[in-house]
């Protein structure tokens, strides 16, 4: 069960991708966006919100009445009804303005870059970056800007990604592994890399970011649609009630002017949440951008708020991911040098960090530094085989990989001594890689075990405890054997683990959880994670990961910090809580407006209704106008809360409901009584109204 709580928000400084800290005050933002709010008075825009469109129609009707028979009361009503619509537009405009500011900052990073295009013969040709096609190979050296999105296929380099992430510290991008993805517009600081382009001009990651933070790609989410239907239903109920009230009032001898009926309708329908609904959704997306997470859809943000199962890839997520070879342990009867040399040969063409560390350890132990023998054929690692290796020209085949995979390849089980070594390494939290050799005649031999060590990131246990307090179950996913997975999961503090996981296993686990009614979130950075990222309700791909992972996920973490998913979940919950809290406040407001307007409308015909004038409002006109003014001003007052969101912290669902009803339910009842009374004290002094 999801556990959340609410508190009032406090002003704070937020940061955004590629932007400086701080920013203009909300008042300055509102002043800057006022022209946009006025442009949004176009009925073609207002009609998107049925509630606000009804207010717009009421404003038109009241304006016509004021022009036909002008008096202070009618003119004042017309002015404040128009201000109600403008304030609703202003909330949306300010939210959109923040996104446009982000987009302007991102757009400034785009440059017309010349690319060094490689042909099939390795010759370089200078071409405009806009002419690059998917699959092209380009060379980028120190001091040059990467011309387009792609994957590093050769070399290693330090890259400045501050234009995208806002972080000044450079990052390492290298061929092989899950840190090979580079983004167009970033700058290489050292060395030389070859990049395979994965996105055509106009479809790059930066282009998508600009479109999304501007709001041009935003669509209403399922929860927004459902709430909109509720608001429309309430509006129809009040519309019918007010329409039937007119003949009833006439029959009772207290006929009501059209402008009074319009004022009653506007005050009773849920105008507050109707005006702020769009701004809440836009601001939720904006808050994600400010923590350097790019959501591809509002649906993903909402789903994050309802997540109950979280799948985390072990390597690079729970652990640092830079597993290093620390020991060669030869099998009984196998010479140490033979084991060492076989491990080196099987890793010479392996560009992963693990493969390189095996070669380095072998060289430290006295192995030859000769290149791969002529005629050798390198066998790449795949998630299905869970092995890699080399086939030599003399028919000898060497494989390294998980013990079960190598045993299946050999058709024999390792000796008890080798099995004990594998288990000992796994129990210690290391990763054992078995080295095996098969000669030209097909006779296989297990040569020994390579020990790889990884380190759990500090603070992970505390972060997982936070998730547990939110009612989220954490599952570590790894290709390691069960013993290794168990040791790492215990150290990290996750709730469960999935060992020796293939892409098919991840998909099956996600679908099993979804069939059980759970929403599943997953982080990942590798190509092997792509199917699971696509199937998950919330798939957060690391910006440092492969292009396939980023395409499959519905969120991208620009900082490549897998623990950022906790922030994503909190923002998702904050979005849902904010929307619910303001809906509660908006509906509760109607009670006070009822006590203000209904007695004012009928007290002349039914003097006993004066008892309902609990606020002691001066006159019928001042009571109605005060309610309309409060209805407009409360929208302005709630814009900061809609944009910043209700603060979130872990608590029980009961505590959430209690606090929601106390702050926003009871507050929605009390605040209008105080506000309308104070406004009435001022309005009643106006000649023609008081």
Active site residues: 313
- Round the CA-based radius of gyration of the chain to a whole number and report it: 32
574 is in an annotated binding site: no
Distance, in Å, from the CA atom of 259 to the CA atom of 628, rounded to the nearest integer, reads 12
522 is in an annotated binding site: no
28 is in an annotated binding site: no
CA distances, 243 to each of 19, 59, 66, 248, 625 (Å): 52, 17, 21, 9, 20
Distance, in Å, from the CA atom of 225 to the CA atom of 99, rounded to the nearest integer, reads 22
388 is in an annotated binding site: yes
First to last CA, the chain: 54
Residue 623 and residue 72 in contact, taking contact as beta carbons nearer than 8 Å: no
Distance, in Å, from the CA atom of 588 to the CA atom of 407, rounded to the nearest integer, reads 68
387 is in an annotated binding site: yes
529 is in an annotated binding site: yes
Q: Is 292 left (phi over 0), alpha (psi -120 to 50) or beta?
A: left
136 is in an annotated binding site: no
468 is in an annotated binding site: no
Pairing of strands 473-477, 496-498: parallel
Taking the mean position of all CA atoms in its chain, how far away is CA 478?
Answer: 24
CA distances, 96 to each of 277, 300, 424, 627, 642 (Å): 13, 19, 57, 29, 13
Distance, in Å, from the CA atom of 557 to the CA atom of 502, rounded to the nearest integer, reads 24
CA distances, 324 to each of 250, 320, 355, 358, 420 (Å): 87, 11, 9, 7, 21
384 is in an annotated binding site: yes
385 is in an annotated binding site: yes
Residue 501 and residue 479 in contact, taking contact as beta carbons nearer than 8 Å: yes
Q: How many residues are present in the chain?
A: 690
505 is in an annotated binding site: no
Binding residues for ATP: 350, 354, 381-388, 400
Binding residues for Mg(2+): 525, 529
Binding residues: 350, 354, 381-388, 400, 525, 529
């Amino acid at each position: 069960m999801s556990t959340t709580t609410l508190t009032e928000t406090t002003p704070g400084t937020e940061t955004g991708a590629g932007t400086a800290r701080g920013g203009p005050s909300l008042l300055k933002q509102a002043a800057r966006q006022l022209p946009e709010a006025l442009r949004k008075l176009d009925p073609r825009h207002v009609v998107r919100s049925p509630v606000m469109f009804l207010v717009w129609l009421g404003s038109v009707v009241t304006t016509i009445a004021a022009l036909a028979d002008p008096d202070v009361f009618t003119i004042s009503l017309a002015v404040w009804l128009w201000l109600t619509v403008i304030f609703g537009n202003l909330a949306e405009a300010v939210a959109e303005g923040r996104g446009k500011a982000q987009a302007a900052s991102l757009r400034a990073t785009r440059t017309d870059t010349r690319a060094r295009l490689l042909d099939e013969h390795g010759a370089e040709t200078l071409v405009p970056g806009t002419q690059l096609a998917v699959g092209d190979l380009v060379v980028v050296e120190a001091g040059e800007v990467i011309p387009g999105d792609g994957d590093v296929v050769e070399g290693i380099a330090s890259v400045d990604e501050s234009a995208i992430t806002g972080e000044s510290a450079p990052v390492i991008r290298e061929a092989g592994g899950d840190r090979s993805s580079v983004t167009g517009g970033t700058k290489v600081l050292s060395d030389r890399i070859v990049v395979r382009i994965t996105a055509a001009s106009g479809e790059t990651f930066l282009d998508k970011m600009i479109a999304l933070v501007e709001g041009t790609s935003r669509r209403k989410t399922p929860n927004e649609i459902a709430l909109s239907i509720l608001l429309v239903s309430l509006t129809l109920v009040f519309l019918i009630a007010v329409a039937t009230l007119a003949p009833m009032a006439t029959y009772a001898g207290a006929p009501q002017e059209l402008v009074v009926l319009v004022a009653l309708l506007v005050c009773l329908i849920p105008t507050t949440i109707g005006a702020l609904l769009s701004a809440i959704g836009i601001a939720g997306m904006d808050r994600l951008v400010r923590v350097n997470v790019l959501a591809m859809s509002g649906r993903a943000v909402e789903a994050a708020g309802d997540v109950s199962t979280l799948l985390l890839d072990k390597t690079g997520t729970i652990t640092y991911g830079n597993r290093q070879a620390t020991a060669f342990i030869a099998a009984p009867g196998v010479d140490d040098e033979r084991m060492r040399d076989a491990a080196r040969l099987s890793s010479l063409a392996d560009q992963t960090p693990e493969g390189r560390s095996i070669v380095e350890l072998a060289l430290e132990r006295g192995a030859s530094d000769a290149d791969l023998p002529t005629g050798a054929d390198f066998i790449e690692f795949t998630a299905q085989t869970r092995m890699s290796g080399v086939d030599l020209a003399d028919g000898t085949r060497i494989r390294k990989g998980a013990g079960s995979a190598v045993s299946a390849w050999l058709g024999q089980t390792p000796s008890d001594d080798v099995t004990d070594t594998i288990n000992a390494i796994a129990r210690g939290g290391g990763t054992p890689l078995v080295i095996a050799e098969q000669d030209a005649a097909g006779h296989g031999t297990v040569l020994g075990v390579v020990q790889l060590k990884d380190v759990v990131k500090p603070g992970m246990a505390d972060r997982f405890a936070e998730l547990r307090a939110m009612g989220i179950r954490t599952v570590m996913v790894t290709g390691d054997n069960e013993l290794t997975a168990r040791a790492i999961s215990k150290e990290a503090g996750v709730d469960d683990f999935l060992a020796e996981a293939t892409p098919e296993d991840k998909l099956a686990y996600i679908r099993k959880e979804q069939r059980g009614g759970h929403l599943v979130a997953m982080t990942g950075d590798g190509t092997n994670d792509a199917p699971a990222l696509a199937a998950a309700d919330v798939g957060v791909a690391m910006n440092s990961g492969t292009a396939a992972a980023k395409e499959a996920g519905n969120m991208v973490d620009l900082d490549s910090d897998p623990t950022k998913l906790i922030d994503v979940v909190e923002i998702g919950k904050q979005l849902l809580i904010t929307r619910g809290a303001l809906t509660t406040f908006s509906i509760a407001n109607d009670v006070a407006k009822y006590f203000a307007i209904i007695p004012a409308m009928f007290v002349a015909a039914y003097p006993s209704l004066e008892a309902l004038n609990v606020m002691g409002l001066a006159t019928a006109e001042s009571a109605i106008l005060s309610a309309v003014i409060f209805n407009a001003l409360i929208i302005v007052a709630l814009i900061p809360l809609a944009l910043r969101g209700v603060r979130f912290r872990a608590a029980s669902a009961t505590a959430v409901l209690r606090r929601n009803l106390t702050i926003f339910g009871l507050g929605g009842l009390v605040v209008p009584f105080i506000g309308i009374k104070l406004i009435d004290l001022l309005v009643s002094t106006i000649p023609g109204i008081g």
